[in-house]
Amino acid sequence: MLSKKLEKALNAQIRIEAESSQVYLSMACWAEVKGLEGVAGFMYGHSHEERMHMLKLVKYVNERGGHAIVSDLKAPPIEFGSLPKMLKALYDHEVFVSQSINELVHVTLEEKDYATHNFLQWYVAEQLEEEALARTVLDKINLIGDDKGGLYLFDRDIQQLTVESAASETMEE
């Protein structure tokens, strides 16, 4: 059974995951109308992934005797200025989500809820990968600068880009 404090914290994270999905969906739309089909596909995929993260939390809260709350969401931005600025916003958002997950893990320790602590370790590892991927994408676009040919190749190749973080390698051994 979840404590009320932990249930509230998990519901706050559900909202963050839902808003993340919306932010990435908005980024996908922005990229698509700019002719960046590869970037759009990458962001559509991330939007879907964040929604799956939210649903995993929803199911967990309900299965543990809590009540997952579907709340209103803050509207995401619709304009990002430039691709480097959008990818910087992506990276900054992943750092924010990581901080939120870390706070949530802290609450599990305060509440001595080791089952939820264990459940959240998947999110901790996932965020290491998400941050590493966002940093890699940002680094690559910054390397390209104003090179249109480089941008074309980046857009073509981004959907195949994955990054294995150090955490995921050790977790699989």
Q: How confident is the model at residue 142 (pLDDT cuts 50, 70, 90)?
A: very high
Q: Per-residue pLDDT for 163 more than 50?
A: no
pTM: 0.90
Compute the average pLDDT of residues 30-51.
95
- What is the spatial distance between Cα 25 and Cα 46, in angstroms, rounded to a whole number? 8
Return binding residues. 17, 50, 53, 94, 127
CA distances to 10, 21, 102, 115 from 97, rounded to whole Å, are 13, 12, 9, 21
Return binding residues for Fe cation. 17, 50, 53, 94, 127
Residue 162 is predicted with a pLDDT of 55
- What is the spatial distance between Cα 21 and Cα 52, in angstroms, rounded to a whole number? 9
In 3D, which of 49, 63, 58 has the Cα closest to residue 21?
Answer: 49
Q: How confident is the model at residue 23 (pLDDT cuts 50, 70, 90)?
A: very high
CB contact set of 96 (below 8 Å; sequence gap of 6+)? none
Domains of the chain by residue range: 4-163
What is the residue-averaged pLDDT of the chain? 92
106-120 pLDDT per residue, tens: 999 999 999 999 999
61-118 pLDDT per residue, tens: 999 999 999 999 999 999 999 999 999 999 999 999 999 999 999 999 999 999 999 9
Q: Per-residue pLDDT for 164 more than 60?
A: no
Fold of 4-163: Ferritin (1.20.1260)
Q: How confident is the model at residue 170 (pLDDT cuts 50, 70, 90)?
A: very low
Residue 159 is predicted with a pLDDT of 73
